[in-house]
Structure 1
Amino acid sequence: MTKTSMTQFVTENIEENLMNMNTCLICEVLMVDMHTFKADVLPLNDPEATPILDVPIAFHQTDQFILQIPYKQGDRVLVVCSQADIDPIMFGGGEAASRSFSANDALIIGGVNLFTSPIQNEHPDDIVIGTKDFSTKLVINEAGELSIKSSKFRVEADDIEFVGGTITANGEDLTTDLV
């Protein structure tokens, strides 16, 4: 083998290995099951891509709390591929396979808003949970104020306590009525 062909062989081998290594992909949700927190997704960067099936959906969560996002068919999501086999962690034991950055170890980590459909962000400095058009929203601003906007607001509780210096409804002071 000549030096040129050896260099070419190594270069082609490295390029082929890199092409088979997945780090992160923008995908479209094909099917989602919010009961099992899994989705089938299609990578958008490759017209010949095959769907990645049963991708776990990652959420912001702790042992006691979860922030659930209800993904739907057609949503654009960011999918990362783990450096190592996730099966032993996800299924609770067993031997890890020797694969790295495989689509078999993909995780949906969040939605992606494309530049082709920008959101007119009314609250760039606040924490917001709401619809994309902001017609329904919960906003926490830097001053610690909480605002809720909704067509209907329902509270279900065993006990409701209102505490404040001034409590108003539609501009009418209710403070004395509640005390």
Structure 2
Amino acid sequence: MTKVSMTQFVSENIEESLMNMNTCLICRILEVDMNLYKADVLPLHDPDATPILDVPMAFWQTEQFVIQVPFKKGDKVLVVCSQADIDPLMFGGGKAASRSFSANDALIVGGVHYFTKPLQNEHPDDLLLSDKIYKNKIRITPTGEIFMESEENINIISKKDVNIKGENVWIN
């Protein structure tokens, strides 16, 4: 039997505990359900990783508004693992399990862009909704100007009036 010092024993146990704690992972989406805002993901840091199933997507939302990002199969995403069991929150009640930082409590918090594929963003200081080639976009500048730009049709649909007001209005 090999003798182990108390320091070595504690150190090895802490290291083993930390290795079993999930904080955040970069994953690839395997399947996605944009109706339930959940996806199956595969961690990319571990060649022996198993998929994490039914991971909820966090997104910007309030009681009245939502900003939806249409994740697709193959997208790289940042997944965080909650400090506590999220099942009671997600499913509306029940008793929380005592688990912490478990892959069972993973949440997709956003996409990840790799440095190996730089984007040619010509509007780095603007609030921007755009495709990745910046050909179709809505942007707001720091001075408050709003631009809608597209190489395709821009459709405005309303069951009521459409009002355009300004000091000068030009239509080409």
Question: What displacement does 1:120 show?
Answer: 1.1
- Alignment match, 1:105: 105
- Alignment match, 1:176: none
Larger-gyration structure (1/2): 1
- Alignment match, 2:155: 154
- Matched residue of 1:11: which SS? helix
Question: What displacement does 1:123 show?
Answer: 1.0
Q: Does 1:21 align with 2:30?
A: no
Opposite residue 169 of structure 1, the aligned amino acid is I
- What is the TM-score when the length of structure 2 is the normalising length? 0.95
Hey, what's the Cα distance between the residues in 1 that align with 2:57 and 2:4?
A: 46
Structure 1: give runs of 5+ residues left out of the alignment: 171-179
Hey, what's the Cα distance between the residues in 1 that align with 2:74 and 2:168?
A: 46
Residues 133-166 of structure 1: per-residue CA shift (max 9 Å, x gap):
0011000111111101121111111101111111
Hey, what's the Cα distance between the residues in 2 that align with 1:71 and 1:49?
A: 21
Hey, what's the Cα distance between the residues in 1 that align with 2:67 and 2:132?
A: 17
- Matched residue of 1:61: which SS? coil
- Alignment match, 1:88: 88
- Alignment match, 2:40: 40
Aligned 1:28-177 pairs, distance under 5 A: 28-150=28-150, 151-157=152-158, 158-170=160-172
Question: What displacement does 1:4 show?
Answer: 3.5
Hey, what's the Cα distance between the residues in 2 that align with 1:23 and 1:12?
A: 19
Question: What displacement does 1:5 show?
Answer: 3.6
Hey, what's the Cα distance between the residues in 2 that align with 1:169 and 1:103?
A: 54
Hey, what's the Cα distance between the residues in 2 that align with 1:120 and 1:22?
A: 34
Structure 2: give runs of 5+ residues left out of the alignment: none
- Matched residue of 1:25: which SS? strand
RMSD across aligned positions (CA) = 1.4
Opposite residue 155 of structure 1, the aligned amino acid is I
Hey, what's the Cα distance between the residues in 1 that align with 2:116 and 2:109?
A: 21
Identity %: 64
Question: What displacement does 1:119 show?
Answer: 1.0
- What is the TM-score when the length of structure 1 is the normalising length? 0.91
- Alignment match, 1:177: none
